[in-house]
Structure 1
Amino acid sequence: MSEDTDDFALFREQVKVDRRIRSETVAAPRPKLTPRRRAENTPERQQQAEFFFSDTFRAHFPEGPVRYCVEGESSHILKQLRRGDFPPELFLDLHGMTQAEAKRELGALLHACAKQHIECCAVMSGHGKGVLKENLPHWLVQHPAVRAFHQAPAAHGGNAALLILVQR
């Protein structure tokens, strides 16, 4: 045992381990983080969504499947939408939403399409009581970013959904 204690004493003498002084290990100051508000949740964004979609406006649609094309656009776009030539990149399901919630979500969807440069999206209103299904085309006609929309082909929801072309 005495050899072990001599070895430890010799080691301590050679190394001279001391306690670290805390002032030598100063951490760099961290920048203060300011919380950012998400643009989608601002009252202005909600007001814009409600501004575009009036419940009193009623557009006239031709008989048959629901379809619409902005003036100046080729009617060939409607045929392409009907055939499913534009695959939707974003989907919105309005099942179980109130009209106010559906308007906000629809506004957010169209804003997201413009922001992410998405040309085609799909909105599923479902059958239900038909309130959202009836109002959805009238809301879409009012939005300036909508180029055209058509009842979706069966692969994308059939008559319970709409394919929407959005300006990029």
Structure 2
Amino acid sequence: MTPQKPNKKDFSTLIEKNQSIIHKITMVYTNGWTDREDLFQEICLQLWKSYPNFREDAKITTWMYRVALNTAISTIRRNSKAPSFEPLRDFDRIDDETQNDKEQLQTLYNAISKLNRIDKAIILLWLEEKSYDEIAAIMGTSKKNVSVKLVRIKRKLEELITNTEIQKP
């Protein structure tokens, strides 16, 4: 069966409705604003290209995460840049958070940025409250592997955050 040509309106609605998925991934996998915009566009392009082949045997968000994460990792590998963290100056969009909450969130994202590419993806999905089954499906691994990796990732994040706290003046 030949894939059908994607409907531009449906695709635009899909991206608009789920753009937070793409933004979170670009925030974790890029160095700055320009890189985020470039990666956002690349992810949208890859989603557009693979949209006709979406079989609906998984949730649309699971498919989007898989395409977006694969695109981010491939782009970084292709550009051979080591991902690093840029302070989140534009994170003021969240109105209900206190300054302390914002600082803790920034500390968390800073620690996440120091993880390897796969660990970043797994913890990002876990923070999005995806089930172990969904994370396994997106990452192409087993539920047990996700469980083991999450324990290790949480320990590593705790260690990174503790070391950051100790280094503060």
Give the TM-score range, shorter chain.
Answer: under 0.3
Structure exhibiting the larger radius of gyration computed from Cα positions? 1
TM-score, normalised with respect to structure 1: 0.22
Larger strand percent: 1
Larger helix percent: 2
Structure number with higher relative contact order (C-alpha < 8 Å, ≥ 6 residues apart): 1
TM-score, normalised with respect to structure 2: 0.22
